[in-house]
């Protein structure tokens, strides 16, 4: 559901519909292989990337090398952003206590968002990155850190086999990574000259507007959860 929003940000309206459909299909293949056959994720990504390079050099009619390079960058980025990153959220379910880890992912990220929102609204003074997102403040970012730590403390009671300091570390890293995901999507929207990625969710924008932090945080939490499950 988020991929059409990403396509609208990456490609121009006049770009070929066939090009957009091929991108969408390739992205689904990368995502599906990464979820169902993780050992083949890297070879599948390499093979599809090679196909994109070949197609961009032989079938598409671009007037200069910069246009070809831009197309290749957009497709590679899209495969990582909407193909590989969300697959780690799905793969959390394959771990021991997988459903709890998946819920932890959402809780850490959304608690960070809530903490950042309220802290920024009440105490926000210093801009975090005005060129990318003028509304975000340093105080809000610190409030987001506090939100992720609170969520980590809550999950200590659900996963008492994990030492609480390590759970807080995982929650902290997940929350901070999620904040960078939010900033990155703000950068994409600024480059694309749009306010929201979509209109699916009234008052919130599109799917990517709500899940940008989750996409970035998924690999971080998957690594942390995998390590903790292997040691404890």
Helical pair 164-192 and 98-123, crossing angle rounded to 10 deg = 60
Residues 6+ apart with CB under 8 A from 98: 92
Task: Give the number of C-alpha atoms closer than 13 A to the C-alpha of residue 173, restricted to the C-beta side.
Answer: 13
Contact 194, 185 (CB under 8 A): no
Backbone torsions φ then ψ of 198, nearest 5 degrees: -170, -170
This prediction has a pTM of 0.86
* pLDDT tens digits, 168-219: 999 999 999 999 998 888 888 888 777 777 666 666 677 888 888 999 999 9
What is the distance between the alpha carbons of residues 106 and 164, in angstroms, rounded to a whole number? Answer: 19
* pLDDT tens digits, 115-133: 999 998 898 888 888 888 8
């Amino acid at each position: 559901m988020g991929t059409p929003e990403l396509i609208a940000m990456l490609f121009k309206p006049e770009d070929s519909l066939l090009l957009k459909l091929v991108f969408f299909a390739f992205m689904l293949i990368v995502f599906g292989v990464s979820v169902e056959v993780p050992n083949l994720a890297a070879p599948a990504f390499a093979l599809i990337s090679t196909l994109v390079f070949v197609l961009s050099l032989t079938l598409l009619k671009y007037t200069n090398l910069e246009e070809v390079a831009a197309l290749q960058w957009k497709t590679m980025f899209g495969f990582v952003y909407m193909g590989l990153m969300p697959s780690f959220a799905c793969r959390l379910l394959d771990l021991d206590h997988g459903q709890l880890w998946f819920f932890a992912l959402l809780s850490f990220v959304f608690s960070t968002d809530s903490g950042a929102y309220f802290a920024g609204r009440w105490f926000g003074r210093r801009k975090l990155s005005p060129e990318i997102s003028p509304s975000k403040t340093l105080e809000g970012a610190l409030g987001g850190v506090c939100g992720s730590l609170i969520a980590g403390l809550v999950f200590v009671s659900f996963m008492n086999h994990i030492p609480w300091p390590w759970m807080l570390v995982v929650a902290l890293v997940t929350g901070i990574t999620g904040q960078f995901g939010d900033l990155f999507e703000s950068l994409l929207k600024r480059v694309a000259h749009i306010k929201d990625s979509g209109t699916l969710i009234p008052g919130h924008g599109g799917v990517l507007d709500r899940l940008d932090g989750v996409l970035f945080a998924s690999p971080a939490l998957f690594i942390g959860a995998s390590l903790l499950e292997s040691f404890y």
